[in-house]
Amino acid sequence: MKPETQEQIDSLVKSNKIMVFMKGNKLMPQCGFSNNVVQILNALGVPFNTFDVLEDPEVRQGIKEYSNWPTIPQVYVDGQFVGGSDILIELYQSGELQQMVEVALAS
């Protein structure tokens, strides 16, 4: 990955409490998995930012290297990689995601 791409991803992850790299954006998700993540975060009523990887092939590939995770969407909370759609569903159902985002937003 190019150093500029690494810096761009780093900046997005560190400057947003909840950051989602996804296909589309929170108003118009472009795949079912991205939509799942948006629906979960909306259900929690928390502020979050998105980056549309379809608009930037460098970031689309770079984020997979950055997290060492092969799929999109990717969710970061308080600078930490949490996971993709399936993991977010599990964390949401167990109540762990709610705690995680509350702690992040309070800090």
How confident is the model over 43-92, as pLDDT tens digits?
Answer: 999 999 999 999 999 999 999 999 999 999 999 999 999 999 999 999 99
Judged against a pLDDT cut of 90, whether residue 107 lies above it is answered with no
* Nearest alpha-carbon partner for 98 in 45, 22, 33, 38: 45
Q: Which of the following CATH numbers is that of domain 3-99: 3.30.230.10, 1.10.3720.10, 3.40.50.2300, 3.40.30.10?
A: 3.40.30.10
31 is in an annotated binding site: yes
Q: How far apart are CA 76 and CA 83, in angstroms?
A: 7
